[in-house]
C-alpha cells in the first residue's frame, strides 16, 4: 500500500505504508470514486485543520 502525507503548508511526501505505522490525528482514505458524494474541506475548531467532509448528493 502506498501513502501520501502532507502538512498544513501543503508539503507532501509519499512512500510505502509499513506495518507498525501509527496515525495520531486523522486518516483520510479513499479507495474509489463516486458521483453520489461531494468531498469538501471544512475547518475543524477542535483540531485546527481543514478536515475532510463527505456530503451525500442524494439528500
Are 29 and 23 contacting, i.e. CB atoms less than 8 angstroms apart? no
The continuous run of DSSP H or E covering 16 comes out as strand 12-16
Q: Give the pLDDT of residue 47.
A: 81
Q: pLDDT digits over 14-53, tens only?
A: 888 778 877 776 677 666 677 888 888 899 898 888 888 8
Q: Which domain holds residue 7?
A: 2-56
pTM of the predicted protein model: 0.42
Is it the case that residue 13 has pLDDT exceeding 80? yes
* Domains in the chain, number: 1
Q: Give the pLDDT of residue 50.
A: 84
Q: Give the pLDDT of residue 59.
A: 59
Cell of 5: 502525507
Amino acid at each position: 500500500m502506498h501513502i501520501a502525507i502532507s502538512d498544513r503548508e501543503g508539503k507532501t511526501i509519499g512512500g510505502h505504508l509499513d506495518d507498525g505505522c501509527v496515525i495520531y490525528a486523522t486518516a483520510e482514505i479513499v479507495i474509489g470514486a463516486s458521483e453520489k458524494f461531494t468531498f469538501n474541506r471544512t475547518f475543524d475548531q477542535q483540531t485546527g485543520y481543514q478536515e475532510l467532509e463527505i456530503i451525500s448528493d442524494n439528500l
